[in-house]
Chains A and B, each alone.
Chain A
Amino acid sequence: MFFSKLWEGFATAFRGVPTTMGVSAVAVLIGLVLGLILALMRLSKLKVLRGLATLYIDIVRGTPLLVQALIAAYGIPVLIQSMGIDWRWPHLVIPALMCCGLNSAAYMAEIVRGGLTAVDKGQMEAAQCLGMTHRQAMRLIIIPQAMRLILPPLGNEFVTMIKETAVLSVAGVTEITREGTLLSARTFDFFTAYVGVALVYLLFTISISKLILYMERRLKTD
């Protein structure tokens, strides 16, 4: 009886996997692109760009993702409606993606910056001696090497994001945790429903972490 309930909890939560994985993957990709831009801004010679990037990172890292998600999902439509426009999100997964992506970017910026500064100084010099502009040197020489360095921390960011997206369960997205909440609301068996949820998360976080470790080792020997 207990195990069949636990199985029901696991199987129900599993239905949220595509949403959780999809949101996490897209968020990490958005985060990577924006994070690269933020990292380049932070390394810029222009004080304004450095300041803007730092401000952004401070704000995002200084507020909980849950609060950001609530502002995006429910706050923004109310703001727009108060201006007399009848508007709502076509689907609440959109603010969720935006929010997680923008959030991830702040963390990714530090990861990317670490990768960029870890590339040997001689690489930039060699590129410049070939007559490359700073921009060409970054694009052709520095960023490709930095990407290799940041692949493992990037994977860890993905694992973190999988867990963090649980907050979206209260911001209108039916992902793994939300499936568990809906089940427990029907059966009142909160234990098996949420342990089922936990097991689904574990299944993915552990296997993906192992995969990253494997990739990290391959990259080192390559």
Chain B
Amino acid sequence: MLEIKNLKKSYGDLEVLKGIDQVIDDKEVLCIIGPSGGGKSTLLRCLNHLEEPTEGEIYIDGELICESNLIKVRERMGMVFQSFNLFPHMSVLENVTVGPIHVKGKSKEAAEAHAKEILGLVGLSDKIDAKPRSLSGGQQQRVAIARALAMDPEVMLFDEPTSALDPEMVGEVLDVMKKLASEGMTMVVVTHEMGFAKEVADKVIFIDQGVIAEEGTPEQIFDHPQNERTRNFVSAI
């Protein structure tokens, strides 16, 4: 369970997040939507302290995330980036095993067996020896998901995972994410894919100008938005 308490983030005078409170239960899929520059990605990146919060706290299973436990906590949170950020000097298999081997101290054999299983899950069994740059965007993002999953995380964070993809590749990545959700993975997803949010999310929060302008079930947000800004945003899609 993730708990966000009064989270604020400023860059100099610019206040990007103005006090966010939210609880993400186990096995819940939370989608974060909202206009660009509203603070969605900053919120996500504060969860694992890629951005240092200016104020407020994040708790994972009741444990406050801070400097001293950060490295251990990050093992428990997988992250998928918009731009994949695969390690270009490593093969697909090495990308997926480098964490388990060097961070978790798994043996190479065990890590590779586990990695092959996960790569099968994301449909890339035939690409284990390929270098990332020889793959399509959709394939690269699926490798990135596999890399995060190989650490057996409790929570998966997705930062606009399909925004850098060609339209025909969006589906294959969303399919993998749907599968994960149906298997009970706790997920926090920043996305512009409203179809995905509607279908998969347990809860949707609409973030605008650094605050949660509205939150609710997908039906509440997409079909009966109460807030005017939400209404404008949703109707514009």
Contacts from A to B (Cβ < 8 Å): 120, 122-123, 125-133, 136, 140-141, 144-145, 148
Query: Contact check: which of A122, A126, A131, A140 meets B75 at CB < 8 Å?
Result: A131
Q: Which residues of B lie under 8 Å from residue A128 when comparing CB positions?
A: 50, 74
Q: Number of residues in B with C-beta < 8 Å to the partner? A: 25
Cα-based distance from A127 to B79 in the complex (angstroms): 10
Contact B48 A122 (CB under 8 A): no
Q: Which residues of A lie under 8 Å from residue B148 when comparing CB positions?
A: 129-130
> Are A133 and B77 also in contact (CB < 8 A) when A128-B50, A140-B98, A140-B102 are?
no
Q: Which 10 A-B pairs have the closest CB atoms?
A: A131-B75, A130-B99, A126-B85, A122-B85, A129-B79, A131-B103, A131-B74, A144-B89, A145-B89, A131-B71
Query: Contact check: which of A120, A129, A140, A145 meets B74 at CB < 8 Å?
Result: A129
Residue of B nearest to A121 (CB): B85
Contact A132 B103 (CB under 8 A): yes
Q: Mark B73-88, 1 if CB is under 8 A from A, else 0.
A: 0110111010101111
Q: Which residues of A lie under 8 Å from residue B89 when comparing CB positions?
A: 144-145, 148
State whether the Cβ of B151 lies closer than 8 Å to any Cβ in chain A: yes
Determine which residue in A126, A127, A129, A136 has the highest number of CB atoms from chain B within 10 A of its CB, and name it. A129
Contact B50 A129 (CB under 8 A): yes
Cα-based distance from A132 to B147 in the complex (angstroms): 13
Q: Which residues of B lie under 8 Å from residue A132 when comparing CB positions?
A: 71, 99, 102-103
Residue of B nearest to A134 (CB): B71
State whether the Cβ of B72 lies closer than 8 Å to any Cβ in chain A: yes
Contact B103 A130 (CB under 8 A): yes
Q: Which of B87-104 contact A (CB under 8 A)?
A: 87-89, 98-99, 102-104
Closest-CB distance, A33 to chain B (whole angstroms): 20
The prevalent SS among residues of A at the interface is helix
Contact A145 B99 (CB under 8 A): no
Cα-based distance from A78 to B34 in the complex (angstroms): 74
Contact B87 A126 (CB under 8 A): yes
Closest-CB distance, B13 to chain A (whole angstroms): 23
Cα-based distance from A127 to B147 in the complex (angstroms): 11
Determine which residue in A126, A132, A140 has the highest number of CB atoms from chain B within 10 A of its CB, and name it. A126
Residue of A nearest to B147 (CB): A130
Query: Contact check: which of B81, B83, B88, B99 meets A131 at CB < 8 Å?
Result: B99
Q: Which residues of A lie under 8 Å from residue B102 when comparing CB positions?
A: 132, 136, 140
Determine which residue in B72, B83, B87, B144 has the highest number of CB atoms from chain A within 10 A of its CB, and name it. B87
Closest-CB distance, B48 to chain A (whole angstroms): 6
Q: Which residues of B lie under 8 Å from residue A120 when comparing CB positions?
A: 85
Q: Which residues of A lie under 8 Å from residue B87 when comparing CB positions?
A: 123, 126-127, 141, 145
Query: Contact check: which of A123, A136, A144 meets B85 at CB < 8 Å?
Result: A123
Closest-CB distance, A171 to chain B (whole angstroms): 40
Q: Which residues of B lie under 8 Å from residue A140 when comparing CB positions?
A: 98, 102
Cα-based distance from A148 to B48 in the complex (angstroms): 30
Cα-based distance from A100 to B144 in the complex (angstroms): 44
Closest-CB distance, A199 to chain B (whole angstroms): 40
